[in-house]
């Protein structure tokens, strides 16, 4: 048993060579992806992830090669082949092979089964540092494969012992390179509504928070974040991760806040019983 992939109708070992050199994802960066995982052997919020993937494809004008039901059957087979209780899935949809290097003819659809990401329990308890970075993603509702700014800044993040970049523009924050941003002002939970990818973990956390806090989804100023009582980020790999430092500026008391830790507990309880 080992990790496998699906590519255009075939299932093969994960290390199988695939793409021809005239794929638009390679030549033009014309590609999108999505990423999610199982809990208790069940894909987390599969309907939501599929809808987001389908929306990204629609916005890039790429027809989906398979239906949701057909794709779900492939996920089941890939999961069984892995022999693992829990796996991560990565979808990649490219513009496909283009004889003229421009026009989409037929997209290529790849599904990778991957080991779960390395956990970061220390980060969830102690919080992370992020670096401010002046940038807003093009077409932020599309989960594109373009992560050039994260890669360009990788050495600098390592040098400054930062976990990620915080995107901001004209005094307004949007997101991190791979996750959404929240802040607390008292018992009010606030998250940006513009220039962001609509994260599934983000949605889950807002649903969990609604019975306990006022939730505001609106433009958020960079200065608001610097003067927040607490801040955190959410994603498939980070779950609910406190942000305790932006550049050289400490957020709140410089540690994980009690409200953030409370939301961590709610999220942990949810995934512990997912699919049961």
Residues of the chain with pLDDT under 70: 1, 119
pTM of this prediction exceeds 0.75: yes
The helix-helix angle for 68-82 and 46-59 (nearest 10°) equals 120
Closest by CA position to 210, among listed 268, 266, 126: 266
Domains of the chain plus CATH, in order, are: 4-114 (3.30.470.10), 121-272 (3.20.10.10)
pLDDT of residue 122: 78
* Local structure of 106: helix, strand or coil: coil
> 38 — phi, psi (to 5°)?
-100, 155
Rounded CA-CA distance 173/168 in Å is 4
Helices (H), ranges, the chain: 24-27, 46-59, 68-82, 121-126, 148-152, 154-159, 200-209, 222-226, 258-272
Residues 6+ apart with CB under 8 A from 53: 32, 34, 91, 93, 143
């Amino acid at each position: 048993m080992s990790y496998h992939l699906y590519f255009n109708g075939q299932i093969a070992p994960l290390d199988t060579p695939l793409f021809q050199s005239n794929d638009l994802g390679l030549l033009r960066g014309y590609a999108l992806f999505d990423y999610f995982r199982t809990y208790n052997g069940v894909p987390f919020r599969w309907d939501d992830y599929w809808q987001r993937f389908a929306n990204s494809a629609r916005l890039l004008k790429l027809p989906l090669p398979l239906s949701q039901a057909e794709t779900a059957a492939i996920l089941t087979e890939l999961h069984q082949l892995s022999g693992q209780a829990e796996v991560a899935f990565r979808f990649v949809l490219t513009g496909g092979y283009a004889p003229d290097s421009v026009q989409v003819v037929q997209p290529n659809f790849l599904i990778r089964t991957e080991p779960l990401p390395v956990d970061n329990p220390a980060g969830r308890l102690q919080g992370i540092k992020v670096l401010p970075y002046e940038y807003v993603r093009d077409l932020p509702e599309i989960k594109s494969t373009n992560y050039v700014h994260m890669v360009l800044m990788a050495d600098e993040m390592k040098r400054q012992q930062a976990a990620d970049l915080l995107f901001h523009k004209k005094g307004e924050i949007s997101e991190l390179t791979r996750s959404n941003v929240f802040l607390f002002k008292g018992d009010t939970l606030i998250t940006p509504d513009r220039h962001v990818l609509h994260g599934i973990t983000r949605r889950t956390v807002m649903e969990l928070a609604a019975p306990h806090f006022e939730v505001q989804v609106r433009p958020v100023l960079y200065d608001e974040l610097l003067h927040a009582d607490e801040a955190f980020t959410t994603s498939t790999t980070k779950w609910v991760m406190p942000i305790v430092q932006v550049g050289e500026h400490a957020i709140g008391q410089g540690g994980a806040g009690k409200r953030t830790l409370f939301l961590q507990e709610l999220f942990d309880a949810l995934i512990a019983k997912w699919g049961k």
